[in-house]
Amino acid sequence: MSKYEKTCLIRGDGGRAIRGILDRIGDKWTVLVVATLHGGRMRFGELLTRIPGVSQRMLTRTLRHLERDGLVGRTVYAEVPPRVEYELTDSGRTLVEPAVMLAEWAIENNPGIEASQKDYDERGQGDSSP
């Protein structure tokens, strides 16, 4: 029995666990937030700046979800100009590793995948006309 079959992604739960995680990190911003936060604790505005394209709303949502999951810690400073800082929890940090695995795979395979897509798309058009 291989290592894969042991873990095998789908267990008795029909893949509930893995699906739960994928629902979480599969959304548009979670991974980028975690990745950015991996650089260290930082405040809301900084995240907003560092993550290109994210909206306030989405950043807030994502952070709340991560907080709820116990992957990100939130610290509010009772100051006149409000300051809130976020940081990965220990749990959150453990997520970075598998995420990096995936990222490495992604970076390595993206060219091939895009090529394959292009190939696939072109083939679909030019096969019926001689």
Residues that bind its own copies (CB under 8 A): 3-5, 7-11, 14-15, 17-22, 25-28, 31-32, 35-36, 38-39, 52-53, 67-71, 91, 94-107, 109-110, 112-113, 115-117, 119-121
Which residue lies nearer to its own copies by CB, 4 or 80? 4
Phi, psi of 89 (to 5 degrees): -80, 180
- Please say whether the beta carbons of 35 and 99 come within 8 A: yes
Is there binding between residue 19 and DNA (CB under 7 A)? no
Q: How many residues make up the chain in this entry?
A: 130
Helix (H, G, I), strand (E, B) or coil at 36: helix
List the single partner that 123 binds among its own copies, DNA, none, CB under 5 to 8 Å by kind: none
Binding mask 49-68 for DNA (x = CB under 7 A): ----xxxxxx-xx-xx----
Separation in Å, CA 23 to CA 15, 27, 36, 39, 112: 12, 7, 20, 24, 26
Spatial separation of the C-alpha atoms in residues 75 and 109, rounded to whole Å: 38
List the end-to-end C-alpha distance of the chain, in Å, as a whole number.
49
Rounded to the nearest whole angstrom, what is the least distance from the CB of residue 73 to DNA in the complex? 12
- Beta bridge partners, 76, equal 84
- Among positions 12, 14, 52, 81, the unique one binding DNA when judged by CB under 7 A: 81
Which residue number, 46 or 87, has a Cβ lying nearer to DNA? 46
Residues that bind DNA (CB under 7 A): 27-29, 43-46, 48, 53-58, 60-61, 63-64, 74, 76, 81-84
